[in-house]
Each structure stands twice: as C-alpha cells, then as structure tokens.
Amino acid sequence: MTEQTIALVTGANKGIGYEIAAGLGALGWSVGVGARNEEHREAAVAKLRVAGVDAFGVPLDVTDGASVTAAAELIADRAGRLDVLVNNAGITGSVPQMPTTVDVATVRAAVETNVIGVIRVTNAMLPLLRRSASPRIVNMSSSVGSLTLQTTPGAETGPIAVAYAPSKTFLNAVTVQYAKELRDTNILINAACPGFCATDLNGFRGVRTPQQGAAIAIRLATLPDDGPTGSFFDDAGEVPW
Ligand SMILES: NC(=O)c1ccc[n+]([C@@H]2O[C@H](COP(=O)([O-])OP(=O)(O)OC[C@H]3O[C@@H](n4cnc5c(N)ncnc54)[C@H](OP(=O)(O)O)[C@@H]3O)[C@@H](O)[C@H]2O)c1
C-alpha cells in the first residue's frame, strides 16, 4: 500500500486556498488546513470532511514565528513528514497604494505576509519536507508581480499597487533563490498565478472562480520528479518573470 500524501495549504479557510485543499483532498491526500482564525478554520475543515476530504486543522498565522513553529510541530506529530507545502496565504494591504502617497506600513504589512511569511513557513516545514520522497513547494504569486508584464505596454497588470504587486515580485525572486539552493535536492519549488478570481481579496470582482484559480497550484503540487523548478506558471503555461 502506498503511503498517503500529506499536504499543508496556508490560508485555506476560504477563497483559492480552500479550493486547493479541496482539490488535493480529492486526490486522496491528507490536507492540513492552515488558518489563523479558529472558527473559520474549523468550519472549513468540517466542510471539507463532508466532501470526503481527509482534512485536519492547522492553527497558523504566517506572520507569527511561534504559530509557525507550532504548526510544524503539529504536522511532525501527526505525520512525521510533509510532502507538499502550498504557500497560499496572502493579503493585498489597504488601498489605494499609489507610490507617492502610500503609508509605508501598508508596504511593510504586504511584505511581512506575502514574502517573509512564505520564508518563515517554508523554513519551518523544510525538515519535514526533506523526509518526503517527492517534496513540492508552491508559492501563490500573481502575474502583477511580473516585471516583464508590468513594463509591457497594454499588458493587463491591475491597478497601480506599490505594496501588493512588488510583494509578489519579491516572492518570485525568493522562489528563484530557493530553487537555486535546493537544485541538488528532490524538492521542486515554483510560483503560481491563479488568474483574476472572485474572492474576498478583490471584493469578489474577479472573473474566474476560486476553483479555477486553484488548478495551477494543484498541478504544481503534483509535478512528476523530473518536473520544473524555479519557474512561474499559470494555466496557459510559463509566466515571464
Ligand atoms: N484572487 C485573485 O484574483 C488572486 C490573483 C492573483 C494571486 N492571488 C493570490 O492567491 C492567494 C489566495 O488569495 P485569495 O484570492 O483566495 O484571497 P482570500 O480569499 O482573501 O484568502 C486569503 C487567505 O489568506 C489568509 N491569510 C492572510 N493573512 C494570513 C496570515 N497572516 N496568516 C495565515 N493566513 C493568512 C486569509 O485568512 P483570513 O480569512 O484569516 O484573513 C485567507 O485564508 C493570495 O496569495 C493572493 O495574493 C489571488
């Protein structure tokens, strides 16, 4: 009998993260629902279980080192290893975010969650991921973080946002650095863009469903051992950095 795959999805209580958890759970995986709000986390776990997913709650605030350490301990106690980490939790920060008038605290908050949070969670989970036969890390980025697209006239890159968009550029750069350090390991780490999905993040203005947004993360979470690493993908293929 093959061992059940163990995954952790951060920010999985709603939106795209919830759908990633549902999609990975549908593969028969055991899925940790990382979420900071207890009520929302337990509601998501209950809903996933009703849908047949082997879901378990993981209290997790990606900006809080003690919380992240405790989350790693919870997974170590439960499973002894982690096969797939999806760093999905993210915030836009308050708007507007015009560069010339922004409150720097808004920029700092976006970086703290969208970048430092990913590094914090990844490094806490790495000892567990190293025990997996085929570890995968997926960082939920955005095409708004692509400097190539941001500087391409006519490309769709959303509103000017000096906190959110550069935080995803930073996350992309961080993803590349991890891939370089981990090149000689079996860990594959990639960035994903879900497209513009209707979630709380954008006041449900997105044109895709959260389920559609989850698809690319699920694909990168299930890459074969000879799959890519250090790249950036959406449903259509590679996204330029
Ligand atoms: N929606 C889009 O169109 C779109 C496009 C490109 C990229 N993305 C990216 O996709 C990811 C998911 O976004 P979404 O659209 O699903 O947004 P969402 O519905 O607002 O969900 C964001 C999730 O992140 C969690 N989160 C935020 N800060 C956290 C923290 N400090 N610790 C733990 N969890 C935290 C939220 O928890 P709470 O419920 O507790 O706040 C929530 O579960 C984000 O990284 C986002 O940047 C989204």
Query: Confidence class of residue 41 from pLDDT cuts 50, 70 and 90?
Result: very high
- Residue 134: CB within 6 Å of ligand 1? no
- Residue 110: CB within 6 Å of ligand 1? no
Vertex 120, ends 114 and 123: CA angle to 5°? 130
- Residue 212: CB within 6 Å of ligand 1? no
7-11, 155-159, 201-205: segment of lowest average pLDDT: 155-159
Region 102-129: mean pLDDT is: 98
The per-residue pLDDT of the chain, averaged, comes to: 97
- Residue 14: CB within 6 Å of ligand 1? yes
Distance 177 CA to ligand 1 centre (A): 23
* Residue from 106, 138, 199, 218 whose mutation best tests the ligand 1 pocket (most atoms within 8 A of CB): 199
Those residues whose C-beta lies under 8 Å from the C-beta of residue 69, and which sit 6 or more positions away, are 124
Burial code (b: 16+ CB inside 10 Å, e: under 16) for 40-51 equals: ebebbbebbeee
pLDDT at residue 2 above 90? no
The active-site residue, picked from 14, 18, 47, 164, is 164
pLDDT at 156: 85
pLDDT cut 90: percent of the chain above it:
98
pLDDT at 1: 56
Interval 61-102: pLDDT, tens: 999 999 999 999 999 999 999 999 999 999 999 999 999 999
- 3-state class of 187 per DSSP? coil
Known catalytic membership, residue 47: no
Q: Which of 118, 141, 136, 119 is nearest to 234 (CA)?
A: 141
Distance 113 CA to ligand 1 centre (A): 10
Interval 185-232: pLDDT, tens: 999 999 999 999 999 999 999 999 999 999 999 999 999 999 999 999
Region 33-52: mean pLDDT is: 98
pLDDT at 198: 97
Q: Which tokens is 23 given?
A: 């999609």
Dist. CA 44–CA 14, nearest whole Å? 7
Known catalytic membership, residue 178: no
Region 146-155: mean pLDDT is: 96
- Residue 113: CB within 6 Å of ligand 1? yes
Residue owning the nearest CA to atom 44 of ligand 1: 90
pTM for the structure as a whole: 0.98
pLDDT at residue 26 above 90? yes
Distance 1 CA to ligand 1 centre (A): 35
